[in-house]
């Protein structure tokens, strides 16, 4: 029996591909032993057990951005976390470690290296994090979502996505469109713009959408708007009396596969998960990179833009007027939407979770 330890957490960007890979490992080998490692502060504390996976916790050891006492304490805290991680690997009789980044990954990577357990790492973003940069120097396999990710010996395999998204990619969005639109109360005879800034929402996307709402509805364009729970305050649905197009606000959405199936075009941030999921299912997107950080969201969007499969609008340039000028001619051009969707799927072919799972099993049995 193969024993696999999976490490990753903090955000959905780390936990979603972890869960997707675990699902495929079980399909590949029903007898596989799986143990997930996270930290007490991350999203993994909820979503990994909900996925039916065993989760063990070790302390998070973030690296402070500025010198000070916190930085001086890092070596001692990291050593303690590595010791706990090594005990978990020993307890699990781990044959291989799979890491997806985040604060938890560094101690687990170092514990595996010291115990001579092979490491398979996966980097979701076009620009890698610290833990994956370090581990790439000793990992047995270095896997990436995007081409040209600057990691040693990297090979692009795509981003493992949830079974529902993978299934949508295989079936095609058109096969679920009628059911998806009925689910959200959308009309079947008008185009749909899906807007989402992620689970927390995005202020600039929300503001621009609300500014453009009435004009988009007047053009017969329906809007499915996921504002984020903290931004949703019983926002009323609106229907244009002339065209019948509706504005459908939501606080949060679990069924993103249905939303992708219902939509003709998406307005979104260019986090790795969103870029890959929309590309895998062939949904054209207008991407608005987060203007802070290390520029990874702009890098994430670049392959789609270069393939003419997506459009980038800078955050500072996103207004209601700009949104109308981008959306109206595009969403009403069926041939262009189809070409963009096909190009996106060539950039991000489906099946990444299966590819990662096969590599993990190969390394475990090597």
Handedness of CA 163, 132, 40, 3 (dihedral sign): positive
Give the side-chain half-sphere CA count within 13 A for 39.
22
Handedness of CA 194, 197, 200, 204 (dihedral sign): negative
Mean of pLDDT values over 264-287: 95
pLDDT tens for each residue of 230-248: 666 666 889 999 999 999 9
Give the side-chain half-sphere CA count within 13 A for 123.
30
Mean of pLDDT values over 125-137: 91
Two structure tokens written together for 57: 């916790």
The pTM (predicted TM-score) of the whole model is 0.83
Please state, in angstroms and rounded to a whole number, the distance separating the CA atoms of residues 127 and 150. 7
Structure-token match 């581990």, residue found = 135
For the ranges 9-13, 262-266, 354-358, the lowest mean pLDDT is seen at 9-13
pLDDT at residue 203 greater than cutoff 80: yes
- Bridge-partner residues for 36, per DSSP? 6, 55
For the ranges 204-208, 232-236, 274-278, 306-310, the lowest mean pLDDT is seen at 232-236
Two structure tokens written together for 211: 């500014």
Angle between helices 272-281 and 296-306 (to 10 degrees): 20
pLDDT tens for each residue of 156-175: 999 999 888 999 998 999 99
Q: What DSSP designation does 240 have?
A: -
Structure-token match 């509805």, residue found = 217
pLDDT at residue 184 greater than cutoff 70: yes
pLDDT at residue 293 greater than cutoff 80: no
Structure-token match 């979104």, residue found = 268
Range list of H helices, the chain: 12-28, 44-50, 69-72, 74-92, 105-114, 130-135, 163-171, 173-184, 203-218, 256-262, 272-281, 296-306, 320-331, 334-347, 352-365
Structure-token match 């010198």, residue found = 67
Mean of pLDDT values over 107-114: 96
pLDDT at residue 73 greater than cutoff 70: no
Enumerate residues 6+ apart whose C-beta is below 8 A from 240: 214, 217, 218, 220, 246
């Amino acid at each position: 029996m193969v024993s696999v330890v999976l490490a990753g957490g903090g955000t959905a960007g780390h936990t979603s591909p972890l869960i997707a890979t675990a699902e495929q490992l079980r399909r590949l080998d029903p007898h596989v032993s799986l143990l997930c490692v996270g930290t007490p502060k991350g999203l993994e504390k909820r979503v990994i057990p909900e996925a039916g996976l065993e989760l063990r916790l070790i302390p998070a050891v973030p690296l402070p951005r500025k010198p000070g006492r916190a930085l001086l304490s890092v070596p001692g805290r990291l050593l303690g976390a590595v010791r706990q991680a090594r005990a978990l690997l020993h307890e699990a009789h781990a044959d291989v470690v799979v890491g997806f980044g985040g604060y938890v990954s560094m101690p687990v990577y170092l514990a595996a290296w010291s115990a001579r357990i092979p490491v398979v790492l996966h980097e979701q973003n076009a620009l890698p994090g610290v833990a994956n940069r370090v581990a790439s120097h000793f990992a047995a396999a270095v896997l990436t979502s995007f081409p040209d990710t600057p990691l040693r010996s990297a090979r692009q395999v795509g981003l493992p996505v949830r079974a529902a998204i993978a299934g949508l990619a295989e079936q095609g969005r058109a096969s679920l469109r009628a059911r998806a639109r009925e689910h959200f109360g959308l009309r079947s005879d008008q185009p749909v713009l899906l807007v989402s800034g992620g689970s927390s929402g995005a202020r600039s996307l929300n503001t621009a959408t609300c500014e453009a709402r009435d004009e988009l509805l007047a053009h017969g364009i329906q809007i499915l708007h996921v504002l984020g729970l903290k931004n949703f305050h019983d926002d009323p649905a609106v229907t244009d009396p002339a065209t019948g197009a509706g504005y459908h606000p939501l606080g949060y959405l679990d069924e993103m596969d249905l939303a992708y199936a219902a939509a003709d075009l998406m307005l979104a941030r260019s986090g790795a998960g969103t870029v890959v999921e929309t590309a895998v299912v062939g949904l054209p997107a207008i991407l608005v990179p987060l203007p802070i950080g290390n520029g990874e969201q702009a890098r994430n969007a670049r392959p789609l833009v270069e393939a003419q499969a997506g459009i980038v609008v800078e955050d500072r340039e996103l207004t209601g007027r700009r949104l109308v000028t981008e959306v109206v001619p595009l969403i009403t051009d069926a041939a262009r939407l189809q070409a963009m969707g096909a190009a996106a799927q060539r950039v991000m072919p489906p099946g990444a979770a299966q590819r990662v799972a096969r590599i993990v099993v190969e390394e475990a049995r090597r």
